[in-house]
């Protein structure tokens, strides 16, 4: 299990980090929330075949997020109003 | 100079600066009008907008074969989401074209034998307008009313079926009030009477489970941009067994089994396919998210300002569509005040007019409530913080506008507003 644990934690960290590449508020928040919820949902999975499958899919998602985050960063120029209002901009 | 040059080559990629410096964007809460393209969808499309530009109908080289393969995969992804066969999927430019093709196509093909169509008063404009066009061509159309809940009466529907009824077109999820019709029951009735059943599922596909076989659906319209896909693409499901036949409305090279001529836009179809595949994995998660935020929004507004009415039956409603009427104030003035929130008073196509929505009128809403309605659309990318912001803004502006409203004053003094004789104008 611990064999996959390190890999899973690295993937998780990288996914959360990739969310920050998105300058568009709503995409950034979604990538963060979706990654977090996927890891919470699957944290008790013990079947090694299933874990490998999840890791593979997670890595595929990470590559997409990194590519699209880079593209988004080049085209997103404006902030949504609540990003400028500290009272609302904290992550939930 | 040298250092400038060095700088500009070091920064290999330059962002687009056109919009820099504009004011902040409003919070987007208009998910029924359209949605942002999901980054995963864009990721699937980009290869076909750059290197793989082949015409999917080119049979003589690899460019064409690669594009064709991509289009076929998209067809499978779409079919998979609604439990259809890939050969039953016809690509169109959107749900408007799908609806036009279904209604006009079936009506015109079977016109010699059958010439009656049943639809409802709360359909999208493109269905109602296609029906008007068909009436000019001699087709009879029954426009069923709906109950206060927004649902049709199934008995009334069955009674409206005539021996010469060829098609019933009843939408799955309404775009203004979010009401979900009893599609499975409607499908059963249609099958029993051998009437083709078309449903405009633009607001339903990817949001609630749809199975064209379990629900006896013969034709179904899909829109790309409502499910986080690109704009300008959609699909029409056309059942093969029992076979539904259509007269094409576009003539040309005979693509899409002759039902829709014109080069299939491979990048757009790939995007639609990806959107459908994502939806088949994500719809339960998305639904829970929409439900949670929608509950929070309704409860928040209810407890902070009160005197609101939810239009449409909340039990049979897709939670991501919340249509509320605010008593004692004009919807237009509230919309104006809420300029930092992108919302609308109904559908995008009628939001330019000040007329109260025909959908709300079909529900029998009081004129004043129909005038004060606002639709909140919650989607995959809506955040909880945005809902908090919206509730706060609504509280502020509704209270402010009510303070200025003579109706609110009368209500506070205990005058029963329903006894007032309004002057005709
Ligand atoms: C129920 C319904 N049908 C059809 C359409 C039209 O879809 P499209 O923009 O893909 O033509 C819409 C969206 O405006 C809709 O909400």
Span A54-90, pLDDT tens digits: 999 999 999 999 999 999 999 998 999 999 888 887 7
Would you say the CB of residue B88 lies under 6 angstroms from ligand 1?
no
- Give the ipTM: 0.96
pLDDT tens column, A9-39? 999 999 999 999 999 999 999 999 999 999 9
- Domain final position from B231, B246, B279: B279
Quote the pLDDT of residue B410: 87
Backbone φ/ψ region at B266: left (φ over 0), alpha (ψ -120 to 50), beta: alpha
> Nearest-CA neighbor of B175 among B198, B152, B200, B210?
B200
Closest residue in A to B12 (Cα) is A74
CB contact set of A57 (below 8 Å; sequence gap of 6+) = none
Residue whose tokens read 């988004």: A72
Tell me: do B317 and B375 sit in the same domain: yes
What is the longest distance spanned by two Cα atoms in chain A?
Answer: 45
Residue B3: predicted pLDDT = 46
Judge if B165 and B146 occupy the same domain. yes
The residues near A59 (Cβ < 8 Å, ≥ 6 apart) are A11
Q: Is-contact B253 B261, C-beta < 8 A?
A: yes
Closest A-chain CA to B384: A92
Residue boundaries of the structural domains of chain A: 2-89
Q: For the CA atoms of B59, B65, B68, B72, what is the dihedral angle to 10 degrees?
A: 120
Q: Taking 60 as the threshold, does the pLDDT of residue A47 lie above it?
A: yes
CA distances from B90 to B50, B73, B214, B308 (A): 24, 13, 20, 42
**Domain assignment of residue B4, yes or no:** no
Distance from the alpha carbon of residue B229 to the mean position of ligand 1, in angstroms: 13
Q: Chain A contact for B25, CB < 8 A?
A: yes
At residue B356, the pLDDT reads 74
B203 lines ligand 1 (CB under 6 A): yes
* Tokens coding B218: 């013969």
Ligand 1: centre distance to CA B205 (Å): 12
Can you list the residues of chain B whose pLDDT is less than 50?
A: 1-7, 425
What pLDDT is recorded for position B4?
Answer: 45
Q: Looking at the structure, do residues B120 and B107 belong to the same domain, yes or no?
A: yes
What CATH code is carried by the domain that includes residue B340? 3.90.1150.10
Residues of chain B with C-beta less than 8 angstroms from the C-beta of A61: 40
Q: Are residues B255 and B289 in the same domain?
A: no
- B95 Cα–ligand 1 center, Å: 5
Index of the ligand 1 atom closest to the CA of residue B349: 14
In the three-class reduction of DSSP (H, G, I as helix; E, B as strand; rest coil), residue B144 is classed as strand
**Residues of B taking part in catalysis:** 349
pLDDT of residue B422: 58
Cross-chain CB nearest to A74 (options B16, B340, B383): B16
Identity of the residue in A34, A67, A79 whose CB atom sits nearest the CB atom of B24: A79
What is the reported pTM? Answer: 0.93
Residue contact B24–A71, C-beta within 8 A:
no
Which of B31, B78, B92, B223 is the best mutation target for the ligand 1 pocket, counting ligand atoms within 8 Å of the beta carbon and taking the most?
A: B223
Structural domains of chain B, count: 2
B13 lies in some domain: no
**Parent domain of B385:** 283-410
């Amino acid at each position: 299990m611990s064999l996959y644990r390190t890999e899973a934690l690295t993937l998780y960290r990288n996914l959360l980090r990739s969310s920050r590449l998105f300058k568009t508020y709503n995409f950034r928040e979604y990538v963060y929330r979706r990654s977090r919820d996927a890891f919470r949902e699957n944290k008790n999975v013990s079947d090694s075949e299933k874990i490998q499958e999840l890791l593979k899919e997670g890595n595929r998602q990470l590559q997409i997020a990194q590519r699209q985050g880079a593209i988004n960063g080049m085209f997103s120029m404006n902030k949504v109003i609540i990003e400028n209002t500290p009272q609302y901009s904290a992550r939930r | 100079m040298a250092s400038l040059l060095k700088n500009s080559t070091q920064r290999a990629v330059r962002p687009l600066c056109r919009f820099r410096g504009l004011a902040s964007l409003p919070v987007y809460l208009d998910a029924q009008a359209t949605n942002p393209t999901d980054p995963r969808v864009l990721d699937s499309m980009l290869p076909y907008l750059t290197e793989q530009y082949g015409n999917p109908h080119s049979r003589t080289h690899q460019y064409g074969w690669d594009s064709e393969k991509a289009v076929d995969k998209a067809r499978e992804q779409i079919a998979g989401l609604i439990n259809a066969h890939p050969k039953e999927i016809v690509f169109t430019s959107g749900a408007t074209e799908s609806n036009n093709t279904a209604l006009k196509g079936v009506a015109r093909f079977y016109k010699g034998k059958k010439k009656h169509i049943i639809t409802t008063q709360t359909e999208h404009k493109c269905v109602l307008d296609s029906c008007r066009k068909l009436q000019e061509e001699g087709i009879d159309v029954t426009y069923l009313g709906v109950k206060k809940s927004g649902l049709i009466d199934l008995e009334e529907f069955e009674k409206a079926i005539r021996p010469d009824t060829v098609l019933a077109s009843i939408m799955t999820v309404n775009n203004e009030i979010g009401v979900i019709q009893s599609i499975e029951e409607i499908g059963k009735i249609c099958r029993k009477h051998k009437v083709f059943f078309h449903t405009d599922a633009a607001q339903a596909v990817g949001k609630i489970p749809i199975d064209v076989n379990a629900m006896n659906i013969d034709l179904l319209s899909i829109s790309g941009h409502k499910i986080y896909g690109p704009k300008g693409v959609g699909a029409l499901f056309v059942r093969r067994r029992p076979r539904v036949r259509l007269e094409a409305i576009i003539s040309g090279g005979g693509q899409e089994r002759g039902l829709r001529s014109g080069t299939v836009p491979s990048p757009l179809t790939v995007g639609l396919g990806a959107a459908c595949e994502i939806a088949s994995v994500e719809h339960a998660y998305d639904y829970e998210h929409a439900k949670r935020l929608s509950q929070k929004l309704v409860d928040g507004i209810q407890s902070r300002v009160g005197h609101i009415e939810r239009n449409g039956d909340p039990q049979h409603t897709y939670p991501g569509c919340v249509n509320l009427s605010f008593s004692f104030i004009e919807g237009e003035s509230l919309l104006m005040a809420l300029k930092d929130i992108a919302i609308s008073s109904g559908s995008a196509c009628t939001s330019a007019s000040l007329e109260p929505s025909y959908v709300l009128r079909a529900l029998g809403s009081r004129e004043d409530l129909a005038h004060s309605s606002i639709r909140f659309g919650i989607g995959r990318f809506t955040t909880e913080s945005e809902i908090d912001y919206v509730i706060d803004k609504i509280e502020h502006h509704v209270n402010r506008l009510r303070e200025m409203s003579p109706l609110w004053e009368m209500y506070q003094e205990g005058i029963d507003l329903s006894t007032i004789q309004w002057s005709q104008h």
